[in-house]
A and B are shown apart, each in its own frame.
Chain A
Amino acid sequence: MTEWFAMVMGAGLFVLMIPIIYRIFKGPTGFDRILGVNVIGTKTAVLLVIIGTLYGRVEMFVDFALTYSLLNFVAAIVVSRYLNRTISLKEMEAREKAKGGAKA
């Protein structure tokens, strides 16, 4: 019964991930893609617990789930920070260009 339930849940998660993968593929901006990756990452933690239920070793796989959700958080922070930084660099370059133009 439990195995059957775990199988159904895993299959349901996989099916529902398809629209999100579509969003990652299509996404007009980079942020949409990151958002999709983030959602799938959170759901991977659930998938790990499902795999643990199937193998009958949940106490081991819960550790993996915790690590994975931590990794997901770090990834979101890194990406937002990186995009922030690169954007400001781009802005700076534009401003510099404008300054150079004024001088000339």
Chain B
Amino acid sequence: MLLAFVLALGIMAALALLLGAVLGWAAIRYKVDEDPLVDKIDAILPQTQCGQCGFPGCKPYATAIAGDEADINRCPPGGEDGIRKLADLLGKEFKPLNAENGEEKPKSLAVVDEAVCIGCTLCVQACPVDAIVGAAKHVHTVVSSECTGCELCVAPCPVDCIDIVPVGETVTSWKWRYPVIPLTPVKVAA
């Protein structure tokens, strides 16, 4: 009986030594340095770089989410859809958009009223994606294909010549709708 105990203990100890050593070694050897999660989150974020989430850009917000420092419901341009995708990715529960961060708006573009623009370059400096062109003392224009509609250029403009215009649907951007299923549910008699 005693021998059995000693034997069991011995085998267990030997196993423990071996496995512990392997695990300890492997933990260092196969360490993954980067955090691919940040990139995955960043890929879901809309990249408007608008800062409405309270972080200076999408990547910082992604880093904060990955580090469990920020909630997933702080991105208005991403909308509910984006929150759902983040919830799926992180295995979290869906939360409605935090109203403090703003509300979901249709995709918009900044438009410079060229009659008013004085060419101060303040909006050029504000634009996070370099979508506004124009030199000092010359009228500025927004490159519509690169504008993310983040609205960051609106505030710095001293003459309020920038408008945020929602992008309407055109024949080229039109999408086929989800086919309506003509299955009319029976009205439950109350």
Do the two shown chains form a genuine complex with each other? no
Question: Which B positions have Cβ atoms within 8 angstroms of A?
Answer: none
**A residues bordering B, Cβ < 8 Å?**
none
